Amino acid sequence: MQIKTKVFEYQTNLTLNLLNGELQFGTWQRIMFVELDRARTRKIQVLLSGE
């Protein structure tokens, strides 16, 4: 029997690539948010930089 395991990386930051206003993902890439403790208010900081 084959077992597929998903590895969670616990990070406090994330860098995403945008092209013409759209996120650029590879074929099997996606973003998942998993709440392991409890629901709470969150603050999100966004920094955009470009040419």
* pLDDT tens digit sequence for 6-27: 556 667 777 888 888 888 888 8
- How many structural domains is the chain composed of? 1
Percent of the chain predicted with pLDDT > 90: 0
pLDDT for 9 equals 63
pLDDT for 31 equals 81
Question: Model pTM?
Answer: 0.48
State the Cα–Cα distance between residues 46 and 39, nearest whole angstrom.
21
Average pLDDT, integer, range 33-38 = 79
Domain membership of residue 48 as a residue range: 1-51
pLDDT for 13 equals 78
Average pLDDT, integer, range 24-42 = 82
For residue 37, give the nearest of 18, 10, 17 by alpha carbon.
10
Largest separation between any pair of C-alpha atoms in the chain: 50
b/e map 5-25, b = 16+ CB within 10 Å: eeeeeeeeeeeeeeeeeeeee
